[in-house]
Amino acid sequence: MSFVKTVASAAILAAAAASAADARDQIRIVGSSTVFPFSTAVAEQFGRSTDFQTPVVESTGSGGGIKLFCAGVGTEHPDITNASRRMKAKEFKLCADNGVTEVTEAVVGFDGIVIANAKGGPSLSVTREQLVIALAAQGPLPEMWSDVDPSLPAIKIEVLGPPPSSGTRDAFEELVMHEGCEGAGIACDGITIREDGAYIEAGENDNLIVSKLEANPNAVGVFGFSFLDQNSDKLQGAVVDGIEPTFENIADGAYPVARSLYFYIKNAHVGVIPGLQEYANEFMSEAAAGEEGYLVDKGLIPLPEDEFETISGNVQSLTKMTGNEWN
C-alpha cells in the first residue's frame, strides 16, 4: 500500500471514530465505589422514567474517576464523576489544564466510614487513637488487637480496606489517622498506613470486601455506611469513640468518622450528551436525595433541607466552581 493510501485510510478511520464518538447518546459516569450504588439507583430510575438511555456507571474510585473526568472535553471522556471526598485543588487545576474549565459540584448527602466485621465475629469498640496504633506504619506495628489495648480481642489485626485511589481511603486517613495520631502518641507529620500485611488493600469493590469478611469473621473491613446498612443481616459495625455507626448518629454529626459525598458535572457536555442535565436534576431531586427519597432507603444520609435546596439549585443552573472552594 502506498504512503498516500495509508494516510488516506488512517484519515478515514479517524473520521469514523470521531463520528462514532460524536454520536454517543448514553451518559457515562465514573468514580467512587461508595457513591456507585446511589448513582446506579438514579441511573436505573432515570432509564425507566424517561425516554433517555440508562446511563453507564463505572466504579473506578474517586481519584481514578476524577483523573478520567479531568482528562479533557469531548465524548471520549466521562460526563460525570462521583467522589466520596471533595475534588482537590490540584485536580481542579488538572481539569483546567486539559480544557475542562466549567465544572459544577454537587454534594449529594453524607456517609459514615465504618469499621465492620461479620456477625459471629467479636464485637469491637475502638477509639481512633487505637486504630492509629494498630495501623500506622510509624507506630509499634502490633500483631494482635490485644497488643494495642488489653480490652480488645486477642485476634490478629487484619483490616481489609480501600487503596490510595479511593476517596474512602483519603477520608479514613484524614478523619482517623490524622485526627487520632496525637492521642496515640505517634508523630502526625508524614503518618501513613502500614504495608506489612495488617492492612490489606481490597480494591474498589466494597461488595468484595463484604464477601471476604463473611469468609473470615476475625477480619474487619473499612467502607461506607451504606454497605453496612445494606448488609446488616451479615455484618456488624464497630463502635468508634463510644458512638455506634447508625443513620441517626451520622445524620446529627455524633459519629466521628463521617464525610460528604459528591458528584461533578462536565458542563461542556450538557446539550451534547442527551439527558445529562436531566440526570443531574434527578439525582438532586427530592424524590431521590431528599429526606424521604429512594436513596435514603439505600443508606444515604440526606442533607439538611436548606443546604439541599441550595445545591439542587446550583445543579439546575450549572453553577460553575470558581477555584476558591479551598480558600
pLDDT at 23: 60
Residues sharing a CB contact under 8 Å with residue 159, sequence separation 6 or more, in sequence order: 115, 134, 135, 198, 199, 200, 219, 220, 221, 222
Same domain assignment for residues 198 and 210: yes
Domain membership flag for residue 14: no
Confidence class of residue 20 from pLDDT cuts 50, 70 and 90? Answer: very low
Domain membership flag for residue 244: yes
Same domain assignment for residues 83 and 194: no
Q: Cα separation of 52 and 191, whole Å? A: 47
**206 touches 227 (CB < 8 A):** yes
> Which of 204, 232, 252 finishes a domain?
252
Letter for the amino acid at 233? D
Domain membership flag for residue 5: no
Secondary structure letter of residue 290 according to DSSP: S
Domain membership flag for residue 212: yes
Same domain assignment for residues 116 and 245: yes
If 0-12 CB within 10 Å is exposed, 13-18 middle and 19+ buried, where does residue 231 land? Answer: buried
Q: Which helix (H) or strand (E) holds 9?
A: helix 3-22
pLDDT at 203: 76
228 phi/psi in degrees, rounded to 5: -65, -45
> What tens digit of pLDDT does each residue of 148-163 get?
999 999 999 999 999 9
Same domain assignment for residues 105 and 123: no
Same domain assignment for residues 151 and 277: no
SS (H, E, C) 262-274: EEEEEHHHECCEC
Same domain assignment for residues 248 and 278: no
Domain membership flag for residue 2: no
Q: Cα separation of 100 and 320, whole Å? A: 11
Same domain assignment for residues 180 and 85: no
pLDDT at 327: 82
Mean pLDDT of the chain: 91
For residue 1, pLDDT over 60 is answered with no
Q: Which helix (H) or strand (E) holds 211?
A: helix 206-215
pTM value is: 0.84
Same domain assignment for residues 101 and 168: no
Same domain assignment for residues 57 and 36: yes
> Which of 234, 252, 270 finishes a domain?
252
> Which of 252, 272, 299 finishes a domain?
252
Same domain assignment for residues 244 and 123: yes
Domain membership flag for residue 8: no
User: How many structural domains is the chain composed of?
Assistant: 2
Same domain assignment for residues 150 and 269: no
% pLDDT > 90, the chain: 87
> What tens digit of pLDDT does each residue of 52-103 get?
999 999 999 999 999 999 999 999 999 999 999 999 999 999 999 999 999 9
CATH number at residue 96: 3.40.190.10
Same domain assignment for residues 76 and 177: no
Which grid cell is 321? Answer: 466552581
Q: Cα separation of 287 and 297, whole Å? A: 11
Domain membership flag for residue 22: no
- 223: containing domain: 111-252
Confidence class of residue 211 from pLDDT cuts 50, 70 and 90? Answer: confident
Residues sharing a CB contact under 8 Å with residue 237, sequence separation 6 or more, in sequence order: 114, 115, 116, 225, 228, 244, 245
**267 touches 102 (CB < 8 A):** yes
Domain membership flag for residue 7: no
